[in-house]
């Protein structure tokens, strides 16, 4: 059963970089930007991660944390994070726990080949652990600015 807007994120426990285990309770007390991306060290995913990293202080000023998610291993994530100096944690979802919870595994086509993979998506979770906004089929250009704008609008009400 996937989480929908207005739902509280159900229980999970999953490995992340810096030897962390992230659970649903880590989403509470602040906003969380949970972004799903297809693969470490690919151009779009690197740009997206760098954009989130560049704007981290803007997000922190709005009481928001950023977490990146892909199916890559912790080892690949640690290398990716170190190579590009990402100032936030990356979650390794090889078992597709979060991918299924947020329904981001989609049929994709690449050079005529069909396969199941992560559809670039971002989710905004409020300080109570409730999903309040989602972006599906994300295009990397200007995406981080869109997320920041949405977060500012929500907090100004």
Residue 6 DSSP one-character state: T
The answer to whether residues 37 and 68 touch, using CB atoms and an 8 Å cutoff, is yes
Question: Which member of 14, 22, 33, 45 is catalytic?
Answer: 45
What is the DSSP pairing of strand 121-125 with strand 113-118?
A: unpaired
What is the DSSP pairing of strand 105-110 with strand 113-118?
A: antiparallel
Cβ neighbourhood burial of 116 (10 Å; 0-12, 13-18, 19+): exposed
Residue 130: strand, helix, or coil = strand
Query: Annotated catalytic, 99?
Result: no
Question: Which DSSP string corresponds to 65-127?
Answer: EEEEEESS-HHHHHHHHHHHT-SSEEEE-TT-HHHHHTT-EEEEEETTEEEEEEPPEEEEE-T
Active-site residue numbers? 45
């Amino acid at each position: 059963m996937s989480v929908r807007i207005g739902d509280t994120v159900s229980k999970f426990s999953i490995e992340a970089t810096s030897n962390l285990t992230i659970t649903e309770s880590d989403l509470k007390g602040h906003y969380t930007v949970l972004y799903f991306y297809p693969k470490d060290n690919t151009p779009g995913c690197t740009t997206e991660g760098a954009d989130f990293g560049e704007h981290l202080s803007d997000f922190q000023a709005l009481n928001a944390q950023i977490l990146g998610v892909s199916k890559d291993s912790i080892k690949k994530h640690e290398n990716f994070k170190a190579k590009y100096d990402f100032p936030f944690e990356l979650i390794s979802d090889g078992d597709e726990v979060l991918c299924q919870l947020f329904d981001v595994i989609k049929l994709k086509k690449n050079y005529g080949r069909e396969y199941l993979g992560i559809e670039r998506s971002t989710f905004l979770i409020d300080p109570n652990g409730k999903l309040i906004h989602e972006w599906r089929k994300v295009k990397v250009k200007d995406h981080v600015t869109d997320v920041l704008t949405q977060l500012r609008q929500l907090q100004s009400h």
